[in-house]
Amino acid sequence: MTADELRSQFQAQGGRGPGLVEERRREARQARGVYAAVAGLVAVVCLVLIGVRLGQGDALGVWIATYAMGAALGGWGFVLARIGHTRWAMMVTCIGGALAGLGDSPAFH
């Protein structure tokens, strides 16, 4: 048996069409794109918040470290999403967003 014959027999099993592999690839590519966009957005928002708070004349402090860590984790989440580690990307991005939220708390104003 050739590889093409084996492939056609495998695709015929279970009523699965030949488009199943392409559909899963498309869904995975879309998931990577969404996670990369969310992670990039978190990183950009953290950097913008650093600029805004410094522009308002806030003194340097713990808040800048939390924003910087949020931006770094957002960037890392972007990289992880682009290479296909979407679960890790979402986890890292959520932690980065939480740190940015912590840096924006009234305790650090």
The pLDDT tens digits for 8-31 are 777 777 555 567 778 888 998 999
Distances 84 to 30, 54, 74 between C-alpha atoms, Å:
11, 35, 15
HSE-CB at 20 with a 13 A cutoff on CA atoms is 11
What is the pLDDT, as a whole number, of residue 68? 93
Q: Report whether pLDDT(6) > 60.
A: yes
Q: Report whether pLDDT(47) > 90.
A: yes
Confidence class for position 105, pLDDT limits 50, 70, 90: confident
- Global pTM? 0.76
